[in-house]
Amino acid sequence: MRIKNICCIGAGYVGGPTMAVIAHKCPDIKVTIVDINEQRIADWNDENLDNLPVYEPGLADIVASARGRNLFFSTDVEKAIDEAQMIFISVNTPTKTYGLGKGKAADLKYIELCARQIAAVAKNDKIVVEKSTLPVRTAQAIKDILDNTGNGVQYQILSNPEFLAEGTAVQDLLNPDRVLIGGDTTKEGQEAIEALVEVYANWIPRENILTTNVWSSELSKLTANAFLAQRVSSINAISELCEKTGADVNEVAKAIGMDSRIGPKFLKASVGFGGSCFQKDILNLVYIAKSYGLHEVADYWEQVIIMNDHQKRRFASNIVRTLYNTVSGKKIAFLGWAFKKDTNDTRESAAIYVADDLLFEQANIAVYDPKVEKGTIYRDLDYLGTRPADANRENVTVYTDPYEACRDAHAIAILTEWDEFKQYDWQRIYDNMKKPAFVFDGRNILEGQKLEQIGFVFSEIGK
């Protein structure tokens, strides 16, 4: 089957960029991205490309190249499902906050709703592609729903997990290490796999397209994120030991990273990993292991999360300790709120939890981030539910000027490694701060250094 019409349910961080690149590289395929969130679709259709709901370097140009030609954004979900030969499901799969598996299992209610809507609308055979990160064997649940509608439509379920790093998502899509596609081993399953392979083969070498059974594909995504997060927690654990022994964690990371068996990636000590994937996927892996009675396996992976949470708390504690064991009434400037540079995504950002800890110590937080909006920052804090919303607004001020955010601050905490921070006039910042003025680099674990001791050279605090 040659695919000519694709629908993607979900216009978020995965669905939007992925489908935009497919449309850009496959001008003969109509790609329609649908979402019930009317404002999100309106933002994707906004003539001002600066207003796209997802910020990624290069994404605006990709969208501009295809939007209105073969890339469309719509709230008419049923029409798009009806017309599509291939349907990608790219909706949120958050960690459950209720019931069985609360705090660890993935909440699959949105996936099930998508499956039921496809079943209700479809009049002809469809290929349904899991793009969301899902627990192993979710494909069977989707197939059970689709195959028991009684309307005679035949479905093939594929797993095609994303391996995007926010901030480099466009380049990851244009030049991926690999594309993974899992499906049934039946003749029909293999034909469905080949149909999706043909789509990606428009710009990706076939040797970089890996095909597996559907269960291996589903589990590979969780495993990849778990391994990457494990490296972050490992180097963060060593960073604490380095502080006690006088070793330099950056030197240690460089030394072990030169070992070809280890490699240098994901060995940068920091305040902890954030984003939508790592924590959610590891918790999901822990829940799956426990559900099969593999408690030692579950305990092993859960320790990665425990270490990550400890690092965030430790960073906040270091700020309090350095500022003479009290931050009550003191202004602490946060440079950066996104969980990493080159994205406006704040999900599980370390900044949220560091701010929460400092607010308990009655600090006044001043925030500047070049891409994160004020409303998002307040929503992030409100979602924690640790204090009334009006208290967050009273004690957290969001600035559009970084120099004003730092004015009269006792300390600066650098929580996101935005490149623009390197260009600031640090002498000017220092001159307008309370003395002694301290800087804490959460992305380089610089613990409570006085700004005047650094010599205002940002390379020392923001590599």
Q: What is the pLDDT of residues 15-25, one digit of tens each?
A: 999 999 999 99
Q: What is the pTM of this model?
A: 0.85
pLDDT at 137 (0 to 100): 67
Q: Spot the catalytic one: 162, 166, 302, 348.
A: 162
pLDDT at 135 (0 to 100): 63
pLDDT at 462 (0 to 100): 38
Evaluate the CA torsion angle 319, 325, 329, 330 in order and state its sign: negative
Q: What is the pLDDT of residues 93-110, one digit of tens each?
A: 777 788 878 887 777 788
Q: Spot the catalytic one: 25, 221, 280, 331.
A: 221
Q: Any catalytic annotation for residue 26? A: no
Q: Spot the catalytic one: 7, 26, 114, 277.
A: 277
pLDDT of 454 higher than 60:
no
pLDDT at 450 (0 to 100): 77
Report DSSP state, residue 223. Answer: H
Please choose, from the candidates 181, 168, 176, the residue with its C-alpha nearest in 3D space to the C-alpha of residue 128. 181
What average pLDDT does range 398-415 have in this prediction?
Answer: 97
Q: What is the pLDDT of residues 275-294, one digit of tens each?
A: 878 898 899 899 989 999 99
* Inter-residue contact 113 to 10 (CB < 8 Å): no
Q: Using DSSP, state whether 335 is helix, strand or coil.
A: strand
Q: What is the pLDDT of residues 342-367, one digit of tens each?
A: 999 999 999 999 999 999 999 999 99
What whole-number distance in Å separates Cα of residue 413 and Cα of residue 334? 5
Number of CB atoms found within 10 A of residue 60's CB: 18
What whole-number distance in Å separates Cα of residue 438 and Cα of residue 207? 51
Number of CB atoms found within 10 A of residue 143's CB: 17
Q: What is the pLDDT of residues 232-271, one digit of tens each?
A: 999 999 999 998 899 989 899 999 999 999 999 888 889 9
Tell me how many degrees the CA angle 107-141-116 measures, rounded to the nearest 5: 80
pLDDT of 388 higher than 60:
yes
Residues linked to residue 372 through DSSP beta bridges, in sequence order: none
Structural Rg of the chain based on CA atoms: 23
Q: Any catalytic annotation for residue 8? A: no
Helix (H) or strand (E) holding 400: none
Please choose, from the candidates 364, 350, 367, the residue with its C-alpha nearest in 3D space to the C-alpha of residue 311. 350
- Sole residue written with tokens 């996104």: 338
pLDDT of 273 higher than 50:
yes
Q: What is the pLDDT of residues 118-132, one digit of tens each?
A: 999 999 999 999 987
Q: What is the pLDDT of residues 291-302, one digit of tens each?
A: 999 999 999 999
Q: What is the pLDDT of residues 134-177, one digit of tens each?
A: 666 677 778 888 887 657 889 999 999 988 888 999 999 999 99
